Amino acid sequence: MPGINPPVDLWPTGRVRKGWYGSELGTPDFVTRVEARQLDAIKALIREINDSGKPVAEIRKVDLSHRHVDPLFDQIGREVRHGKGLLILTGLSDLAEPDLRILHWGIGTHLGTALSQSHRGELVVHVTSKQGSDRGSGGTAELVMHTDPGEIIILLAVRKAKAGGVSRFCSSLAAWDEMQSRRPDLAQILQEGFRCWRYGEQAPGDDEYTPYNVPVFSECEGLRSVVYARQTIERAHADLKIGLSLNQIVALNMFDSIVADPRLRFEIMLEPGDLAIMNNYEVLHSRSSYDDHYEWEKRRLLLRLWIESPAPRPLQWQALKFQNKSGRQGIDPW
């Protein structure tokens, strides 16, 4: 029967999907603990990879494939594409950091292909506190709810901060319903979208700001997608001297308050070894501020992958902030 066991690689097009309210769900609704026999199989696969000397970036799906773990990777794909769009994988804390990096990459190979996250072609980004970072994830301040320029995000928690740094998630489908029921006129403004700054990562010759409006909410083949990073909107409109109207500001403020509402959001402290896998077009993410350790080697560290599915999610072209020559999502290297 369709819907019971949907194809793991495909997006559920042509169906109206409902979001979730974090306060109505509990941690067990999002967390999957690796079973003992799955962990044994994962360790055996990683041992073989280590013995082969293969670099992480050369690991393919077949290298991390086993009858005990493939159903787990399929469950992740199904939950991310067809379910709540968020899965926290736990129970991996006794894997050493290099082995966790192999598993992180390996899960990505089961979901699709790693995307470049910068013009330097970075496939695995270290999210940690560093000075002078232009991209919000590089500081210790609270992040507001946002999306990234990739299809599926996989975060691996390597180290926690001294205090704080709680991860937060919000269903954009629930946020859409809230906007639509409270102020359909403002929901319409979000659909019309805004110019966006491209983090200075655009290819030579491309505009620093999108020469078109990027819709916060857009629909394609029945799938509603969210693309949102408020600071990129404000920076683009300020630099281009295109003032935001009062209604546009009210729409953005209302959206920010809805996605930050504890009724909607789900929050969790990721422990070292935990992985968070999310559908970036249906789940916004953020984190609370944190106090970090002084020493580099102790600082909070997450590893981030952006993944594109074998059959990419249908999207309006305006929902992509980068006009990549490759036709892929993320940020083309140059």
Judged by the rule CB under 5 A, the positions of this chain that interact with Fe ion are: 148
**H or E segment at 291?**
strand 290-291
User: Based on CB atoms, which residue is closest to Fe ion, 15 or 135?
Assistant: 135
User: Based on CB atoms, which residue is closest to Fe ion, 34 or 125?
Assistant: 125
Burial of 211 (0-12, 13-18, 19+ CB in 10 A): exposed
Give yes or no for a contact between 260 and 69, defined as CB atoms under 8 angstroms apart: no
- Minimal distance, residue 256 CB to Fe ion, in Å: 15
User: Based on CB atoms, which residue is closest to Fe ion, 137 or 309?
Assistant: 137
Residues whose CB falls within 8 Å of the CB of residue 296, separated by 6 or more in sequence, listed in order: none
User: Based on CB atoms, which residue is closest to Fe ion, 240 or 260?
Assistant: 260
- What whole-number distance in Å separates Cα of residue 65 and Cα of residue 42? 9
Two tokens, residue 44: 């055996």
User: Based on CB atoms, which residue is closest to Fe ion, 148 or 308?
Assistant: 148
Give yes or no for a contact between 190 and 215, defined as CB atoms under 8 angstroms apart: yes
- Minimal distance, residue 147 CB to Fe ion, in Å: 7
Give yes or no for a contact between 150 and 322, defined as CB atoms under 8 angstroms apart: no
- Minimal distance, residue 205 CB to Fe ion, in Å: 27
- Minimal distance, residue 114 CB to Fe ion, in Å: 16
User: Based on CB atoms, which residue is closest to Fe ion, 8 or 127?
Assistant: 127
User: Based on CB atoms, which residue is closest to Fe ion, 155 or 251?
Assistant: 155
- Minimal distance, residue 303 CB to Fe ion, in Å: 13
User: Based on CB atoms, which residue is closest to Fe ion, 254 or 278?
Assistant: 278
Residues whose CB falls within 8 Å of the CB of residue 253, separated by 6 or more in sequence, listed in order: none
Residue with nearest beta carbon to Fe ion: 148
- What whole-number distance in Å separates Cα of residue 46 and Cα of residue 174? 39
Longest distance between any two alpha carbons in the chain, whole Å: 61
Give yes or no for a contact between 93 and 270, defined as CB atoms under 8 angstroms apart: no
- Minimal distance, residue 304 CB to Fe ion, in Å: 8
Q: Which residue intervals of the chain are DSSP H helices?
A: 27-30, 36-52, 70-82, 97-111, 172-182, 184-192, 230-239, 246-260
- Which residue from 168, 174, 161 is spatially nearest to 88, judged by alpha carbons? 168
CA dihedral of 16, 281, 211, 222, whole degrees rounded to 10: -20
Residue with tokens 């249906």: 282
- Minimal distance, residue 146 CB to Fe ion, in Å: 6
- Minimal distance, residue 331 CB to Fe ion, in Å: 13
Give yes or no for a contact between 185 and 32, defined as CB atoms under 8 angstroms apart: no
- Minimal distance, residue 278 CB to Fe ion, in Å: 10
User: Based on CB atoms, which residue is closest to Fe ion, 148 or 274?
Assistant: 148
